[in-house]
Structure 1
Amino acid sequence: MDRNILFSEEDARGVKQLHDDPLVIVLMIKGFNTKRILIDNGSSTDIICLSAFQQLKVDPERLQPFESPFISFSGDRVYPKGIVILMVTVGSYPQQLTRQLDFLVVDCPSSYNLII
């Protein structure tokens, strides 16, 4: 069964409308609650910062090579350290969804641990 991750008005409780704030959430990744995750529908890929990747204690041998650069928010070319597949869980039982996502691991400054 293919289910989407959706956000409703109930999820926006406490948010003053009209706003243009980014949507920042917490996800369970590899068994750890991971904070400061930016949901960016305009992003062409899912990104995890190198420091967050290291804190998850993922074996660096799991990194697969990725040679193409991408352009950072500052306009610089960034060459990823590699790509890694991580198990991500959103929600809580019984309204829970778990998926494997491919993340580019990048070493660049960011206010967020992940961008999805």
Structure 2
Amino acid sequence: MPLTDIHSLETRTPKVFKGEFMDITFREADARWVHHPHNAVLVISLQIGTKNIYRVFMDNGSSTNILYYNTYRKMGLPDRDISAEDAWVYGFSGESARFIGSIRLPCTLGEIPLLLMKMLDFKVLNQESSQNVFLG
């Protein structure tokens, strides 16, 4: 008898989206800081706690949300709120880096009537980055 079971994706019932479908559109004003032609990744702004954070890098292939320590300090949050954690990240600049710890923060994305509010877990990383947050 095998030690693992293999399940085919074809046997799953498809998930049904229960919300409204809305187009995501961009206006000319949204591209005022974009240098054309471009192949830029998705970079958004996000409200974390009571602060609007810009230059949030979206990567749906990542399993971790990273809040850079410089951004954390600028948000005025105390270091004592960071839970110590022994975790490492690999691949940035070809090196490994140790996280300072983790923190759970309320995040708001969008505008009324399309508003998403959710508590997200972030790993805090003391490393230089052109982004403020890396959202997986």
The one-letter code sitting in structure 2 at the alignment partner of 1:59 is P
Q: How many residues align?
A: 112
Alignment of 1:1-116 (within 5 A): 8-10=23-25, 12-14=26-28, 20-116=39-135
In structure 2, stretches of 5+ residues that fail to align are 1-17, 32-36
CA RMSD in angstroms comes to 2.6
CA distance 1:38–1:19, change in 2 (3 Å): same
Question: Between the two proteins, what is the percent identity of the paired residues?
Answer: 29
| 2:66 partner SS | strand
Normalising by structure 1, what TM-score?
0.84
User: In 2, distance between residues paired with 1:23 and 1:38?
Assistant: 6
User: In 1, distance between residues paired with 2:56 and 2:22?
Assistant: 15
In structure 1, stretches of 5+ residues that fail to align are none
User: In 2, distance between residues paired with 1:9 and 1:19?
Assistant: 19
Normalising by structure 2, what TM-score?
0.72
Tell which structure's C-alpha radius of gyration is larger.
2
User: In 2, distance between residues paired with 1:81 and 1:109?
Assistant: 14
The one-letter code sitting in structure 1 at the alignment partner of 2:94 is G
Q: CA deviation at 1:73?
A: 2.1
